[in-house]
Structure formats: structure tokens, C-alpha cells
Structure 1
Amino acid sequence: MPAGSSATQRATLAMVAEAAGVSLPTASKVLNGRGDVAAATRTRVEEAVRELGYVPQVGRRSVTPARVVDLVFDDLVSPYSLEVLRGVTDAAAESGVDVVVGRVPADEGNGPLAPEDGWANRLKVSGREGLIVVTSELSLAQVEGFARARLPLVVIDPLNLPRVEVTSVGATNWSGGLAATEHLLSLGHRRIGFVGGPVRASCGQARLHGYRAALEKAGVTPDPALMLHGPFSYPSGLELGGRLLDLPERPTAIFAASDASALGVVEAARRRGLRVPEELSVVGFDDTIMASLATPALTVVRQPLPDMGRVAMRTLLRLIAGETLDSHHVELATNLVVRDSTAPVSGA
């Protein structure tokens, strides 16, 4: 539409957005000079502005700028991350908030800003209102940098908590580890292996302590040779499960502290000609889509990953609004889901 058209025919921002094939908030970001828009998207919006002859109304912004928060992961492609992402974005959509998804910066030492302030200040300059970090390790310097930038922070399943005031959302990991091990004990297993996560991961340590508590309660002395640690991943489960199964006296059951690790254990058993669950029972932790689709379907401790994402987003919005939280740490309940990968110990 030509720029000289009458007021009744004036191009609107909605028309610009439609012509560029973008959302109204994205078109607004381009016109307001925001930096968090892809170059190709910016070019399409600018071309639509020229073609339609769009002129913003003088004296006020055409639309209210979109509210934006960041969501960062160590691993963007795992089923765990996708479940958490679904919960975060559902809660954000309910509140009219945009979510920018990315990975934890690999190097905070570049540029003129101090390492402890670089990440926080970059987010602040980009217009972010807050940040959710998932299953990542944060330094005390980074946490203090977010505080100095007045950028609210919530962490989900943190590997560590640099200070007690950091707001976190997790699950009842200790009771989940207890339930998984008690289930295996109830099936007659006494030599039960543990394939855990990184030693520094607080959630993994809680699952380990639940495992140990169940054994001790049943009068079984925990064997350090049966407790191994590595990343929450399929390759780690394959390696650590293989090491357990190659012991002179192998375990009859293994509790793995994640679904991905549990599936690696199942593959390690298959490669050694061991049948699951007839010769080896396996329990996972998470209940991602992989658990129910596996063969055999995994018995797991279910943690409510989408709910954890929703709670994290709603908590972050409360912090942004300046509300005082009743607790800095929230744990949602886990529960045992029995499927096909566990059975009574052979000969019981």
C-alpha cells in the first residue's frame, strides 16, 4: 500500500507481520530495534515495511514490547530436555511470555566484561527479564553476576547450588531412589548395581542415598564395587553397565539414575547375551517417552518433568514481579511405574 494513502487505508503493524510471515511481537521487535531477531527475519520485516509504506503512529509504540525470558540447557536434544521445554513453554504461553531456548555459554571469558558478569549483562542488554537453567553447573561468580544485574534466576535439577538463596525446582530424588531399590529388593534381588550420574550432581547424589538407604534398611551391605558414576547418558549406561556385568559376581539387577543410562545398561546386557528381565532387572529414572517405547518397556521412577518446567516458569514470573517466595526450593513428587524390565530374581 503506498505511503501516501489516506488514514483509513494506513498500513498496520499486523499487516506488516502477515506480509513478512512472522508474529506480531516479532515484527514489533524489529521496528523497536531489538537485537534478538534472526537476520533473515529482520530483512523480511523491513522489506514488508517498505512495500506497505508502514509508518508507526507518532507519540506511542505500535504494540507493547514482548516479554522475553531465556531457557538454557546443557543438552538440547535429550527426551528429558524436551519434556521440560514443553512445560516451560506451556506456562509461558499462558502468561504471554516469549521463551528463547539455547545452551549454556561455553566460554564466559571473552569480551570486555568480567567473566562473572558477561552472561548476565548480555541477557540484560538483550531485554531478557529472567533466566531458567536446566541440569547445568553454575559458579558462585555467575550467580552473583545475575544478582548484580537484577536478573531473576531459577534452576531445574541443578548439578550444584552455589548458594542456598538460588531458587530451584526438582523432584523427590531421594524417595525415588528408595522406591526403585525397594522394588528390586521385593523381587528377591540382593546384588543390585547402581549406575549414577556425575558425582557432583546433587540430584544424582540424592538418588544414590535413597538406593543405599533401601539396601541398609533391608540388611544388605552396600558394595562400593556396584556403585559407578558417569554422565546421564546412553553411552555412559552402556559403559558402566558393561563394567558391572563383567564383574566375577555380576549383579542380578541394576538401578540406573536416568532413562538414557538405563537403556545403555539394557544394551550392555544384550551384547553379553543376557535377557532383560529374565537374567537382569533394570530400573530407570525420569519416565521420558523412551522408557515406554523401549523393548522391554522400562520400569522407572517417574519425575513430572513438564510440571517441573511449568513450576519453574511460574516461579520465575513471580520473582520478576518482585514477589517473595515461601521457599527457594520446590520438590515435586516422584512415583514408581512398573513395566516389563523387572522380574523376580532367577531361582527365587
Structure 2
Amino acid sequence: MRSPDSRERVRLSDIADEAGVSVATISKVLNGHGDISPATRARIEGLLTARGYVRRSQRERPPGGLIELVFHEFEASWSMEIIAGVQEVAKEQGLAVVVTESGGAHSLGEQWIEGVLRRRPAGIVLVASAVLARQRARLAARGIPSVVVDSAGDPPADVPSVGSANWAGGLAATRHLLELGHRRIAAITGPSDMLCSFARLDGYRSAMATAGLDVDPLWVRFGTFHVDFGRDAAREILALPDRPTAVFAGNDLQALGVYDAARERGLRVPEDLSVVGYDDIAPARWVSPALTTVHQPLRRMGVEAARMLLDPSARTAAGGVARVELATHLVVRASTAPPREG
């Protein structure tokens, strides 16, 4: 293994010779110019990483710069909590925060990576988003670390992550409804390509199975984490001949949609229908009746991700990169009550 001193002695001319290109081409790659073929860029960046090349400007750069915060989808109440957590740490370190939205895509395009390389952030926090392997190689060649928050799927083996106990949250929400006496409990969850959607639903299924109850497939709906989908899914569920007496929604916005659907059918919450949400965003406290929900520590997730990003030692754990899972807990308010029937 090279020592830190030997890593710093690696010269651009050596890498250029090995790659079979000019020093000017190496410089273009380092400076994020787009007029290099993908194959040449990948070969050069692989050599830069393998040889441990560190630019002098990177070695001597004083503290400062920014944190790049990337959202799969920006939703004001939910996103602002994570932003506040990242901003808290950034402010402590004298950093700014740049917020980007990937427009619903879980992976990020080449235009985004080019912009990041030009901005040269201290690091990147990816919320329900991911960078491709070739993009991670480009970031690594520049010494730009990344951390994933609430990963859409299993995070890459070499990328640290921060999440919350989604399965336990789904279990707690459903057990609360069971303890109140509900037996016909529906579940609305998020997109079928997101890990948290399945984890929350698996918690619900586990609670129902433990209580010896079957789950009617018609009681379960996958969709978006938006009010409109919660409303549409609840309309279908509440129109069933033997409708559920309670709904566990995959997030608070879906739960607000359930409220709307219940009102349309002349049902009262919680007298005729109990509703539990997930996240504990501010509107959950303001809506009437106040929403029983699972508190997900969104702000703390942002804090932990930013700290992990800026502290190399925090990004590693025994046997590999760090995987942090924060606890969730149920917040009981006024949207749940025993069912009318016995």
C-alpha cells in the first residue's frame, strides 16, 4: 500500500503516459470538461483512483465550500426537515448547502454529475437517490464522498447510509390499531421500487400475522407518497363491501388523502374510520383531528448524514462502510379509536 507521501508524489505525466493520452487530456478530466469520450474518461479516472492521485488544490484547500443535497423528489414538509438537519451541521462547519431534485428518478444523470464536479462540494447527501458505479468512480477520483439517506434500494456496498426503522414503524402502527380492537385494517404504501414502502408494509403484515389475521389483497395499495394517491386508494378501499375500519398510510400525506376520501363518503375520523400515518411532519399536528402517526426522525437523519459525510472515520464500521438505522416511535393523537362494531 502506498504511503500518504508516495500518493502525493504521483504526477500527471506518469498517469498520462500510462493512459496513453496527453497531460492536457488528464487536466480536462480533472476539471470536468465534457469533450472527453466516456471510455477515455473512465480509464483516466480509474488510474487516478488506483494511483491515489490527490490534486495540490485538494490537499491544501481550506475548510469551506458546500454540501450537495440531492432529493429524489422534493416535498416541502418532509424535505425541509432533512434540509434543516444538514444545514445545522453545515453551519457548524462553515459550509453552504446546495439542494438539487432528481425529478423523480432514483438515479442521477450525467448532466448532474458534470455540475457537481464543477461545484466541487465537500460531499454529497443523496435522499432516496443513488449515483451509478461509474459516477461514484468519478467522484472518488476528485475525493468527493457521498452518503445515502433513506435509500430507495439496498445502498451500494461502498456507500455509507442513514435510514430509519421502517419495519418497526409499520409494526407499531398496526399493533396500535389491533390493540384498539380493529381487525379489518388496510395499508396504503409508497412506490413499489422503494425499499421503505416494502419495509413499512412488511411491518404491517407481521403485526397482522402475529394477531392471527389474514390480509385481504384488496386492502393493500402501492402508489406515490402524495395526497392524491392516498385519496384515490382510500376511495377504492372504502367502497369495498366489507370495508376496513382502519387504514395505515405509508406517509402523512397519504393519510391526509384518506381523510378526504372518508369525508366524501360521510365517514368520520376516528368514529367511523381510524387512520395512522407515517413521518410526523408538521401538518400531522395541524389537521383535524390531529393525526396519529409514526415519528420518523427526519431532521436527525439529515444531521447524521452530514456528520458522516464530513468525518471519514464516521463513514466506516467494522467490516465495511457505516449503516445507521435510527429508531422510530408511534405518536398517538386523535385520529384513532376503537371500531364501532364489537
TM-score range, shorter chain: 0.7 to 0.9
**Structure 1 residue aligned with 2:202:** 209
Q: Distance in 1 between matches of 2:314 and 2:214?
A: 49
Q: Distance in 1 between matches of 2:190 and 2:77?
A: 16
> Structure 2: which 5+ residue stretches go unaligned?
1-60
Given the superposition, is the C-alpha separation of residues 175 and 73 from structure 1 closer, same or farther in structure 2, using an over 3 Å criterion?
same
Match of 1:288 among 281, 286, 290: 281
Q: Any residues of structure 2 matched to 1:179-218 within 5 Å, and which?
A: 179-218=172-211
Matched, 1:274 2:274: no
**Structure 1 residue aligned with 2:56:** none
Given the superposition, is the C-alpha separation of residues 156 and 107 from structure 1 closer, same or farther in structure 2, using an over 3 Å criterion?
closer
Please give the root-mean-square deviation of Cα atoms over the aligned residues, in Å: 2.5
**3-state SS, counterpart of residue 97 of structure 2:** strand
User: For 1:283-322, what per-residue CA distance to the aligned partner results, in whole angstroms no more than 9, with x for missing partners?
Assistant: 0000000100011100000011110110010011113x89
Q: Distance in 1 between matches of 2:256 and 2:272?
A: 16
**Structure 2 residue aligned with 1:23:** none
**3-state SS, counterpart of residue 128 of structure 1:** coil
Matched, 1:332 2:326: yes
Q: Distance in 1 between matches of 2:290 and 2:105?
A: 40
Q: C-alpha displacement at 1:116, in angstroms?
A: 6.5
Given the superposition, is the C-alpha separation of residues 322 and 311 from structure 1 closer, same or farther in structure 2, using an over 3 Å criterion?
closer
Give the letter for the 1:229 counterpart.
F
Kept in 1, the 8 Å contact 2:150–2:196? The answer is: yes
**Structure 1 residue aligned with 2:28:** none
Give the letter for the 2:76 counterpart.
S
**Structure 1 residue aligned with 2:169:** 176
Moved more, 161-170 or 333-342: 161-170
Matched, 1:166 2:164: no
**Structure 2 residue aligned with 1:48:** none
Q: Distance in 2 between matches of 1:95 and 1:189?
A: 49
User: For 1:89-123, what per-residue CA distance to the aligned partner results, in whole angstroms no more than 9, with x for missing partners?
Assistant: 011111211111121268999xxxxx865533431
Given the superposition, is the C-alpha separation of residues 261 and 143 from structure 1 closer, same or farther in structure 2, using an over 3 Å criterion?
farther
Matched, 1:98 2:87: no
Q: Distance in 2 between matches of 1:139 and 1:232?
A: 24
Structure with max Cα Rg: 1
> Structure 1: which 5+ residue stretches go unaligned?
1-62, 110-114
Given the superposition, is the C-alpha separation of residues 105 and 329 from structure 1 closer, same or farther in structure 2, using an over 3 Å criterion?
same
Runs of 4+ in 1 over 4 A off after TM superposition: 105-109, 115-118, 137-145
Q: TM-score, normalised by structure 2?
A: 0.76
Q: Distance in 1 between matches of 2:79 and 2:315?
A: 28
Given the superposition, is the C-alpha separation of residues 256 and 138 from structure 1 closer, same or farther in structure 2, using an over 3 Å criterion?
farther
Q: C-alpha displacement at 1:80, in angstroms?
A: 0.5
Kept in 1, the 8 Å contact 2:105–2:129? The answer is: no
User: For 1:316-342, what per-residue CA distance to the aligned partner results, in whole angstroms no more than 9, with x for missing partners?
Assistant: 1113x8963455211110000000000
Q: Distance in 2 between matches of 1:243 and 1:138?
A: 37
Match of 1:302 among 292, 295, 307: 295
Moved more, 150-159 or 137-146: 137-146
**Structure 2 residue aligned with 1:155:** 148
**Structure 1 residue aligned with 2:21:** none
Kept in 2, the 8 Å contact 1:116–1:142? The answer is: no
Figure out how many residues of one structure are paired with residues of the other and give that number: 280
Q: Distance in 1 between matches of 2:195 and 2:290?
A: 27
Kept in 2, the 8 Å contact 1:108–1:118? The answer is: no
Kept in 1, the 8 Å contact 2:293–2:331? The answer is: yes
Given the superposition, is the C-alpha separation of residues 261 and 105 from structure 1 closer, same or farther in structure 2, using an over 3 Å criterion?
closer
Q: Distance in 2 between matches of 1:244 and 1:159?
A: 26
Q: Distance in 1 between matches of 2:105 and 2:169?
A: 35
Percent of matched pairs sharing the same residue: 44
**3-state SS, counterpart of residue 200 of structure 1:** coil
Q: Any residues of structure 2 matched to 1:89-168 within 5 Å, and which?
A: 89-104=87-102, 118-136=111-129, 138-161=131-154, 163-168=156-161
**3-state SS, counterpart of residue 316 of structure 2:** coil
Q: C-alpha displacement at 1:160, in angstroms?
A: 1.9
Given the superposition, is the C-alpha separation of residues 322 and 253 from structure 1 closer, same or farther in structure 2, using an over 3 Å criterion?
closer
User: For 1:15-52, what per-residue CA distance to the aligned partner results, in whole angstroms no more than 9, with x for missing partners?
Assistant: xxxxxxxxxxxxxxxxxxxxxxxxxxxxxxxxxxxxxx
Matched, 1:255 2:248: yes
Q: Distance in 1 between matches of 2:169 and 2:63?
A: 43
Given the superposition, is the C-alpha separation of residues 197 and 107 from structure 1 closer, same or farther in structure 2, using an over 3 Å criterion?
closer
Matched, 1:240 2:256: no
Q: C-alpha displacement at 1:163, in angstroms?
A: 2.3
Given the superposition, is the C-alpha separation of residues 284 and 96 from structure 1 closer, same or farther in structure 2, using an over 3 Å criterion?
same
Q: Distance in 2 between matches of 1:240 and 1:137?
A: 29
Q: Distance in 1 between matches of 2:271 and 2:146?
A: 46
**Structure 1 residue aligned with 2:26:** none
